[in-house]
C-alpha cells in the first residue's frame, strides 16, 4: 500500500506548476481528481506545442501521470452541485489560478466549510491572495525576473538569463504539495480544515536564501559570477577542459588539498595566498585564471578519473540526453514508461519523492488521462445513475453531449 492512498484531492489545476505538485502526491498513492473545464478545452497544457494533437500533448503527459480527469463546469448551477458532492468526500481542493480567482470560483475554505468542515483549500497562485500584485497573472519567467533570479544567472556583463528548467514553477509545486499535506494532517488532528495561500512569488523570493540574508544583514551585493562560480568558495565552478566542460566543487578545504595533488600542483596548497577559502577569495583574480589554464591541459575524462578516485566533488557538464542515459538515472528508476494511443510508448520523468526501502519504492505508473476519461466512473461513485449523468450533460455541466 502506498502512503497516500487514503487521501483524495479535487484539483482545479492547469499548465505546469499546479499539475507538477499534485503529480508527486499521485505517485505516492493519492487520488487526484482533475477537474477540467469543458468550456475552454480543459487544461491548457494539453495544447502546448510542439508535440500536441487530439487534445493531448507530451507536455501534458509530463505532469499528469496517475491522475483521473473529469469534465465539469463549476460555474453552472448543476456543475456546482456536483463539485460540492466531490468536496464532501475529499480531503483537499487544490488549484493554481490567479490570486483573485479562488474567491470568484468559491473554492476557498470560507466558501466550502459548510459543505465539508475538514476540507483543505490549497491555492497555488502567482502572487498569493493578498498584496498589491494578487490580481496579476504569474508565470515562471515573470517570477524569475521579479524575484531577482535572472540578475544572478549568466556571465558577468552579459544579458540576464533564466534558469534552464522552470524552477520557480516546479519549486512552487513542491511547496504546494508540502503545504497541502501539512494542512490535511492538521485537519485530521483538529477536525477543521483551512486555506493554504501558496504563491510562486513567495517561492521565488524565499529561495534567494543566503545571498538574501547576506544582502539584508551585511550589505552584500549579489551578482552574476564567472563560469557559474560560487560567490565565496573557490574553486567551485565550471571549468573548460581540452574537449568539453566539467564542474569541480571544493566545498571543503580537504577537497582543495586533494585537487592540488591531482593537478600535480601541491605547491598551490602551500602558497599562503591560497591556503584558505578566505585567502583564495581575496586572490580570486590570481588563482582562478591559473586553474583555468591548468584544466585546459587534459580532457574531461582525464580529469574526472583521478578526481573520482580522490573523492573530489566533480561531474561532466552533460546535455539533457547525457543526463537521461546516465547509468545512475536508470538505476534510480527515474524513467517512467506508459502507453499512449498517439505517441506509442511515452518515456517521462518520475517523481524524486521516495517512500519505502531502497529499490522497492516504485509503484506502477499510469499515463496522463484523456480529458474527461473518468467522468462517468467518478460520478457513479458519488451515487449518480445514468439518468442523472445524462441530465448533467444536457445541462452543459459536463461539456457538450
Catalytic residue status for 169: yes
Pick from 229, 179, 221: which is nearest to 203 by CA?
A: 179
CA distance 317 to 272: 31
List of residues 6+ apart from 203 with CB closer than 8 A? 143, 168, 171, 172, 175
Q: Which of 169, 195, 197, 202 is catalytic?
A: 169
Residuewise pLDDT in 10s, the chain (401 residues): 899 999 999 999 999 999 999 999 999 999 999 999 999 999 999 999 999 999 999 999 999 999 999 999 999 999 999 999 999 999 999 999 998 999 999 999 999 999 999 999 999 999 999 999 999 999 999 999 999 999 999 999 999 999 999 999 999 999 999 999 999 999 999 999 999 999 999 999 999 999 999 999 999 999 999 999 999 999 999 999 999 999 999 999 999 999 999 999 999 999 999 999 999 999 999 999 999 999 999 999 999 999 999 999 999 999 999 999 999 999 999 999 999 999 999 999 999 999 988 878 888 899 999 999 999 999 999 999 999 999 999 999 998 75
Is the domain spanning 8-206+355-395 CATH 3.40.50.10540? The answer is: yes
pLDDT at 119: 98
Per-residue cell: 262? 591531482
Q: E strand or H helix at 8, and its extent?
A: strand 8-12
pLDDT digits (tens, 9 = 90+) for 183-193: 999 999 999 99
Other CB atoms within 10 A of residue 139 CB = 15
Give the CATH superfamily of 227-317: formyl-coa transferase, domain 3 (3.30.1540.10)
pLDDT at 287: 97
Give start-end residues of each CATH 3.40.50.10540 domain in the chain: 8-206+355-395
Give start-end residues of each CATH 3.30.1540.10 domain in the chain: 227-317
Residue 337 dihedral angles phi and psi, to the nearest 5°: -125, 120
Per-residue cell: 101? 480567482
Beta-strand relationship, 31-36 and 68-71: parallel
Amino acid at each position: 500500500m502506498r502512503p497516500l492512498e487514503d487521501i483524495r484531492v479535487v484539483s482545479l489545476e492547469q499548465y505546469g506548476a499546479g499539475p507538477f505538485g499534485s503529480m508527486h502526491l499521485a505517485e505516492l498513492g493519492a487520488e487526484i481528481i482533475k477537474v477540467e473545464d469543458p468550456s475552454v478545452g480543459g487544461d491548457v497544457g494539453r495544447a502546448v506545442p510542439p508535440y500536441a494533437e487530439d487534445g493531448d500533448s507530451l507536455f501534458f503527459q509530463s505532469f499528469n501521470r496517475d491522475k483521473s480527469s473529469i469534465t465539469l463546469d463549476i460555474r453552472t448551477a448543476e456543475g456546482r452541485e456536483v463539485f460540492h458532492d466531490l468536496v464532501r468526500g475529499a480531503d483537499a481542493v487544490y488549484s493554481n489560478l490567479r490570486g483573485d480567482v479562488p474567491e470568484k470560483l468559491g473554492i476557498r475554505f470560507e466558501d466550502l466549510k459548510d459543505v465539508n468542515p475538514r476540507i483543505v483549500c490549497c491555492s497555488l497562485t502567482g502572487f498569493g491572495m493578498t498584496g498589491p500584485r494578487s490580481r496579476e497573472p504569474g508565470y515562471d519567467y515573470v517570477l524569475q525576473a521579479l524575484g531577482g533570479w535572472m540578475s544572478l544567472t549568466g556571465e558577468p556583463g552579459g544579458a540576464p538569463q533564466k534558469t534552464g528548467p522552470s524552477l520557480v514553477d516546479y519549486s512552487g509545486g513542491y511547496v504546494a504539495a508540502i503545504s497541502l499535506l501539512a494542512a490535511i494532517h492538521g485537519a485530521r488532528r483538529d477536525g477543521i480544515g483551512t486555506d493554504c495561500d501558496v504563491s510562486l512569488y513567495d517561492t521565488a523570493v524565499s529561495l534567494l536564501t543566503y545571498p538574501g540574508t547576506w544582502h539584508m544583514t551585511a550589505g552584500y551585493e549579489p551578482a552574476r559570477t564567472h563560469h557559474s562560480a560560487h560567490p565565496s568558495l573557490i574553486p567551485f565552478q565550471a571549468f573548460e577542459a581540452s574537449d568539453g566542460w566539467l564542474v569541480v566543487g571544493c566545498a571543503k578545504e580537504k577537497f582543495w588539498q586533494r585537487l592540488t595533488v591531482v593537478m600535480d600542483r601541491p605547491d598551490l596548497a602551500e602558497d599562503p595566498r591560497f591556503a584558505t577559502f578566505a585567502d583564495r577569495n581575496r586572490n580570486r583574480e590570481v588563482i582562478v585564471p591559473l586553474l583555468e589554464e591548468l584544466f585546459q591541459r587534459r580532457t574531461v575524462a582525464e580529469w574526472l578519473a583521478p578526481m573520482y578516485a580522490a573523492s573530489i566533488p566533480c561531474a561532466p557538464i552533460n546535455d539533457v540526453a547525457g543526463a537521461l542515459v546516465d547509468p545512475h538515472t536508470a538505476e534510480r528508476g527515474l524513467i517512467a514508461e506508459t502507453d499512449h494511443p498517439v505517441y506509442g510508448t511515452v518515456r517521462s520523468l518520475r517523481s524524486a519523492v521516495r517512500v519505502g526501502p531502497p529499490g522497492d519504492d516504485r509503484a506502477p505508473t499510469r499515463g496522463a488521462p484523456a480529458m474527461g476519461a473518468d467522468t462517468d466512473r467518478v460520478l457513479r461513485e458519488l451515487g449518480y445513475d445514468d439518468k442523472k449523468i445524462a441530465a448533467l450533460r444536457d445541462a452543459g455541466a459536463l461539456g457538450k453531449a
